[in-house]
Amino acid sequence: MDIPRHWRLQRQRYALVGEVCKKCGARLFPPRDVCPQCSQPAYEPFQFSGKGKVYSYSTLYQAPAGYEQFVPYTVALVQLDEGPLVTAQLTDVDQDEIQIGMPVEMVTRKLREEGEDGLIIYGYKFRKQPAEAA
């Protein structure tokens, strides 16, 4: 059981809330309180749009404990429209349609369950954007 850790990360995981640097305007995800661009404090919360593109990806057939029920699944580096690169699982997508540069959007999904009697952990994943929106 690791409840405090999951609880602390809820805000960023459920809705992709990061931070913005008031000095240089850089958008940070995950939130880290110090701007990596200009080294100034950055505490201001920032709601990301959830839109981005696949920067790179890898498909897993042997999953780590807790993720077995999703295999095969793809983990992607997603370049958010606002800049940061985020590592996340792709969902609702067929393996053969995934491409570098594919427009994706954030959805909140079940990441895993801590057994049948444990916590259900929710967080961001990305799915292919509908064609008309891309």
Cβ atoms of 125 and 106 closer than 8 Å: yes
DSSP-assigned letters across all residues of 86-116: EEEEB-S--GGG--TT-EEEEEEEEEEESST
Q: Least distance to other proteins from the beta carbon of 109, Å?
A: 4
Query: Which residue lies nearer to other proteins by CB, 24 or 43?
Result: 43
Sheet with 51-60, strands from edge to edge, namely 85-89, 73-80, 51-60, 103-113, 120-128
How many residues bind other proteins, per CB under 8 A? Answer: 19
Question: Letter for the amino acid at 31?
Answer: P
Q: Does 46 sit near other proteins (CB under 8 A)?
A: no
Q: Does 110 sit near other proteins (CB under 8 A)?
A: yes
Q: Least distance to other proteins from the beta carbon of 72, Å?
A: 12
Q: Does 43 sit near other proteins (CB under 8 A)?
A: no
Q: Interface with other proteins by CB under 8 A: which residues?
A: 10-11, 14-15, 47, 69-70, 91-92, 94, 107-111, 120, 122, 125, 130
